[in-house]
Amino acid sequence: MYSTKRRSARNINFTPALEDEVKKSMISIPTWMARQAKALIQFEKPFWRDRNLSGQAFSRLGPLMEIHDASASSNTPFALFGFIGGTPRQRKEMGEEKLKTAIKQQITRLYGTDTPLPLDITIKDWGNDRLTATEDDMEPLQNHPLYGLPKSLRGLWDGQLIFTGTEVANSEGGYLEGALAAVEEAIVLTN
């Protein structure tokens, strides 16, 4: 996750050098998470459970588009997490403090005016993470890419160089399950 194929193709000097077709393949693979941002909103207790709510919500009003319970069944910390909408540029222009304020307002609107204030809000914006996103990643994807390991990225350096990650998975590309599938595929390639 911390080094996209795009960034690797442009910023790592491989010895022996990779062929141009290999670099083009690497650059053409969109990094799904590069545009994404998440928020973790921590609370002293899981107030939503006390109200017989799942914690799950979907919203088109406010920064969080999708919210889920991210808590263990009984131990602290108790938290909701959500996917933040908008583009990386929009989030950067808004700034983290305004974004946190908007998240608090949205949580109150969704769960009620008696919703307790969060203990903490942590935001991870991969779109503004120089180790994840490149300038190529700034425009939102219009649809989910068809991932898989391109033929040009197979068998490099007599099988000694293996690219893995959710973006090259043969199934579930772009998701956590895709990352797991890609690792299993890489293990098969090394045996």
* Residue of higher predicted confidence among 138 and 47: 47
CB-CB contact of 170 with 181 (8 Å): yes
Last residue of a domain, one of 78, 97, 128: 128
Looking at the predicted structure, is the pLDDT value of residue 1 above 70? no
CA distance 28 to 58: 32
Looking at the predicted structure, is the pLDDT value of residue 3 above 70? no
CA distance 184 to 172: 13
Residues 6+ apart with CB under 8 A from 156: 18, 22, 162, 163
Expressed as residue numbers, the domain containing 101 is 34-128
Q: Could you read off the pLDDT of 52-79 as tens digits, one per residue?
A: 999 999 999 999 999 999 998 777 789 9
Looking at the predicted structure, is the pLDDT value of residue 111 above 60? yes
Q: What CATH number does the domain containing 64 carry? A: 3.90.660.10
Cis bond upstream, residue 77 (ω within 30):
yes
Do 122 and 175 fall into the same domain?
Answer: no
> Is residue 75, in this structure, part of any structural domain at all?
yes
Specify the residue for token string 């490149």: 134
Specify the residue for token string 């889920």: 68
pTM of the model: 0.75
Looking at the predicted structure, is the pLDDT value of residue 89 above 90? no
Do 44 and 114 fall into the same domain?
Answer: yes
Q: Could you read off the pLDDT of 122-156 as tens digits, one per residue?
A: 999 988 887 777 777 777 677 778 888 999 999 89
Q: Provide the pLDDT confidence category of residue 4 given band limits of 50, 70 and 90.
A: low
Do 78 and 151 fall into the same domain?
Answer: no
Strands 64-69 and 78-84: antiparallel
Q: Could you say which DSSP state residue 23 is in?
A: H
CA distance 105 to 79: 16
Last residue of a domain, one of 103, 128, 153: 128
Q: Report H helices in 15-167.
A: 20-28, 47-50, 88-94, 96-111
Do 158 and 114 fall into the same domain?
Answer: no
> Is residue 5, in this structure, part of any structural domain at all?
no
Last residue of a domain, one of 96, 128, 160: 128
In the chain, the number of structural domains is: 2
Do 151 and 97 fall into the same domain?
Answer: no
> Is residue 41, in this structure, part of any structural domain at all?
yes
